[in-house]
Amino acid sequence: SPLNPLFQAMESEISAAFDSGEPEDILSRAFKLTVTREDICTLQPLGWLNDRIMNFYMGLLVERSKKEGYPAVYAFNTFFYSKLSSTSHKGVKKWTKGVDIFEHDVILVPIHLRTHWTLLVIDLREKTIKYFDSLGQKGDHICKTVLKYLEEESREKRNIELAASEWTLHSMGTEEIPQQNNGSDCGVFVCKFADFISRDKPIIFTPEHMPYFRRKMVWEIIHQQLL
């Protein structure tokens, strides 16, 4: 309830993150990232989430996945797909140095399309690649690009041929996942798609949850802990 003292303490902390101090103040540090007040302010109503917020939140999801009872999650950073699509496997080969991505259950690929965030999810258990877009656009070519990447990564790192024919590629339809009702919530949708998927939970939130999710993310990023 809003009268709960803990809730009030959180609310005042979130408001302070937005309102007091300088834009360059550092409010959180983890995953080789620093988050400033200016970054946090992109979580204000109708703000456009930036790369730092997206990558930090993905870091929190990966961290949580190390706990008992969660699928093992790997997340690429937001610059991965644009680099991959403009070069090829060669251009991003070093990004997974010392990591076998195939040892995970779920791989998250947040994608920045000029002014829009979307999410691609690889499920290695099910052999599926799914594309989540809160504006309902199809991403079949993006799924194909990433499947080709997986084939080359598997060949190069494990010397195993991935059988592409065993994989299912699918762009989620507007009736399958919630859709944004404004021009600015795509980043929050991507973070929450990733949150639910990385817990193996059905995606049941709605656009009405966005103002709450934004405030909750402020607290989670400052405390480096998911609620």
Q: Which residues are known catalytic residues? A: 116, 133, 186
**What single string gives the DSSP state of each residue in the chain?**
-TT-HHHHHHHHHHHHHHHSS-TT-EEEEETTEEEEHHHHGGGSTT----HHHHHHHHHHHHHHTTSTTS--EEE--TTHHHHHHHS-HHHHGGGGTT--GGGSSEEEEEEEETTEEEEEEEETTTTEEEEE-TT----HHHHHHHHHHHHHHHHHHH-----GGG-EEEEPPTTTS---SSSS-HHHHHHHHHHHHTTT------GGGHHHHHHHHHHHHHHT---
Spatial distance between the Cα atoms of 188 and 41, rounded to a whole number of angstroms: 13
